[in-house]
Amino acid sequence: MYEAKCKVLFKTKEGGWSERGVGNLQLRRSTQGPRAARLLVRNDTGKLTLNASLYPTLKVSVKSKGLLMNLLNGVQPEGQAAAEGANQPVLTMLRVKSEAEADKLKALIEAQRG
């Protein structure tokens, strides 16, 4: 449905940003049933760094070349226990090539959420 190169960053409890890496962002919608669209990011080796479902009340904002949104990521950060922060939304930034690309992605996400 949509693909672009992006950098994934998560807001830490200390207030800074933790980089998860650069990869190929895919916005996908299930072809079977009424399932919501998902954001997937895989790095160059194919490892999944972001796997998040879009939900109806998701708020997306554009800041420079990045998209900011609270996502429930199905992929645990390295070094974090499975129970730690499980099912908690995390402020996530997806940095793309340009502000125009960020605006385009924002429009697509808002059209496809829940």
Q: Give yes or no for residue 74 having a pLDDT over 80.
A: no
Q: Report the number of distinct structural domains present in the chain.
A: 1
What letter would DSSP give residue 36? P
Task: Give the domain range for residue 39.
Answer: 2-112
Helices (H), the chain: 99-112
CATH no. for residue 33? 2.30.29.30
Position 83 confidence tier, pLDDT thresholds 50, 70, 90 = very low
Burial class (CB in 10 A: 0-12, 13-18, 19+), 55: middle
Mean pLDDT of the chain: 86
Q: Give yes or no for residue 53 having a pLDDT over 70.
A: yes
Q: Give yes or no for residue 25 having a pLDDT over 90.
A: yes
As a whole number of angstroms, the distance between CA 109 and CA 20 comes to 21
32 versus 100: the higher-pLDDT residue is 100
Position 22 confidence tier, pLDDT thresholds 50, 70, 90 = very high
Rounded to two decimals, the pTM is 0.84
